[in-house]
Amino acid sequence: MASEENTKRVLLISNSTLYGSGYLDHAESEIRDFLGDVKKVLFVPYALHDRDAYATTAHKRFQSMGYELTSIHTASNPEAAVNEAEVAFIGGGNTFRLLKALYDFGVLDPIRKRVNSGMPYIGSSAGSNVAGPTIKTTKDMPIVQPPSFDALGLVPACALQVAAGPGGAGASDHAQAPAGQAP
């Protein structure tokens, strides 16, 4: 009899804000469907410099949807926060800043292990970028240098975000093969 493997649960969102709407308004129904009965969300605001303001924005949005959100940046032990989380949500910003912080705070491997064991993962923008095997395809400005470009590897391809703005531009995700592999 074959052993049953845990199924990864990953929701990747191209952007956090669609032009003309509020933070995560465009993805609310998908987030609710994805989370189901989960009520506590661990937020990872490492992609932005002002983590307090970002966590406040995310907290208000998730609270309005009926979820309790805590931010990893206020945890005395970030790795323990990951290990105790019901779901992880990594928000957008600069992908290089995000990946460097995931390495610096020692949470890249714990997040990967938890998601591979079945913990739900939501990533938006930069949070979607780090869900792939590498950040080598990101269009973000390299404002800091992470120790490696290797990311979480939750999905086999890299997501490239397209910002949605005025003039009819729409949000879309584009999958691209990992660096060094044919698409």
CA-nearest of 125, 178, 181 to 155 is 178
Does residue 160 have a pLDDT over 90? Answer: no
Q: Residues 164, 145: contact at Cβ < 8 Å?
A: no
Query: 162 CB contacts (<8 Å, ≥6 apart)?
Result: 14, 15, 169, 170, 171, 172, 173, 174
For position 152, what pLDDT does the model report? Answer: 98
Give the pLDDT band of residue 173 (cuts 50, 70, 90).
very low
Looking at the structure of the chain, the number of domains it has is: 1
For position 162, what pLDDT does the model report? Answer: 52
Segments forming the whole domain that contains residue 56: 10-176
Give tens-digit pLDDT for 95-150: 999 999 999 999 999 999 999 999 999 999 999 999 999 999 888 899 999 999 99
For position 19, what pLDDT does the model report? Answer: 85
**Does 153 reside within a domain?**
yes
pTM for the full model?
0.85
Does residue 13 have a pLDDT over 90? Answer: yes
**Does 69 reside within a domain?**
yes
Burial 27-52 (b: 16+ CB within 10 A, else e): beeebeebbeeeeebbbbbbbbeebe
Report the CATH number that the domain containing residue 120 is assigned in CATH: 3.40.50.880
